[in-house]
Structure 1
């Protein structure tokens, strides 16, 4: 079972206490954007077999949204962090790189 720690209230919650929100760090496109950009925002998502950055909501806790970095192959969680940032904290990137040599956050985004 997937277990994540909410970075806001500190509670370790299993996935039944959380609501998934899909891929993290998306560029939002809405009214006024091109049809291609809006289509990409609505429908085109990564679904990697490996390192993935996701949005989660602590639904049965503090109710706040946060991001999690994890490996979809092994369910290894590299860390959780605020949803109000545009990139993962450096310590999480370093943890991923230690397990996945050659991992490059910039290349993956």
Structure 2
């Protein structure tokens, strides 16, 4: 949900709102390495953090969603890599896990909003 929301709300804070999506995804990836007893508390912590970031940095109004057009996942990820910002790259990786066009559109929005490195 946070990945999709970024497409229309990322302008609230282009970097902090990336974390609303990437933090839960990072925890999901780490779960297999954690003792099973830590799975539920870890997920609760991730979603609590995501909700807090969203509440703190959400803009007053959304912008219109812009579809990705003919771009596929590989092309969108290439744009994130070319952009160079680690937050944009991690967000693109998360969006690929989500795996739909709206998530890809959110990546393009992150590329647009974030200051490129290099």
Query: What TM-score, normalized to structure 2?
Result: 0.25
The structure with the greater share of residues assigned to helix is 2
Query: What TM-score, normalized to structure 1?
Result: 0.26
The structure with the greater share of residues assigned to strand is 1
